[in-house]
Amino acid sequence: MMMVRKSKGIGERHQKILGFIASYQREHKHPPSIREIGEYCDISSTSVVNYYLDQLEKEGLLERDRKISRGMRLTGDNNPLGDMLRVPLMGVIQAGEPILVPSESPFTPEDSVEIAMSMMPSREKGKDLFALQVQGDSMIDAMINDGDIVILKPAQDARNGEMVAVWLTERNETTLKYYYKEKDGFRLQPANPAFKPIMIKKNETIDIKGKVVMVIRKMERMAA
């Protein structure tokens, strides 16, 4: 367990919670849920966990954003991941058969994911990134499963073999696939032999929304 800086205003249980958050972030690259903290520290009530977290926040050892899931981060030297980048979660993308573009996103403007800056490719730091939650399993051979979150950089075109989020304009559908431009149109290639490529004719329009730069593996997500 990682040792963290201790303030005179906290006790052993506070220290245990801080240590667990630091260890969890180092392993999973994002903070634990309230319930996970409670299970580790043998606290059955989420309100009691919140009480301890509030005290840690008052001591300046923790920052919290109650509007988002797992909205906490250790401060200063306590944070094993260093500076964090908040990326807005913009909606759902299908890794399977294309789905209709939803009229409303299931996510609110407050929904986001936090990524350690140290984990980001250096060339992508500081760019206007966005996140989409994956539905379906057509990209499992690319290590992208149902429920994972993909981080994308905005793009309007792509090279063959790049993984992109695509809006099939005339079909009003979206999908996540490998992109290939071919003589007679476009091929959107899945990474699962159980799925067939999506063939787009040359006279059809596809709208590339972004290129995948990072994948956040599915974890049980519980509201903070």
C-beta of residue 151 within 8 angstroms of C-beta of residue 215: yes
DSSP of 14-82: HHHHHHHHHHHHHHHSSPPPHHHHHHHTT---HHHHHHHHHHHHHTTSEEE-TTSTT-EEE-GGG-TT-
Give the distance from CA 108 to its chain's centroid: 15
State the catalytic residue, choosing from 112, 177, 209, 211: 177
The one-letter code for the residue type at 37 is I
State the catalytic residue, choosing from 138, 181, 202, 218: 138
**SS3 annotation, 173-194:** EEEEEEEEEECCEEEEECCCCC
| 8 catalytically annotated | no
| 177 catalytically annotated | yes
CA angle 191, 193, 199 (to 5 degrees): 70
C-beta of residue 148 within 8 angstroms of C-beta of residue 94: no
Residues designated as active site: 138, 177
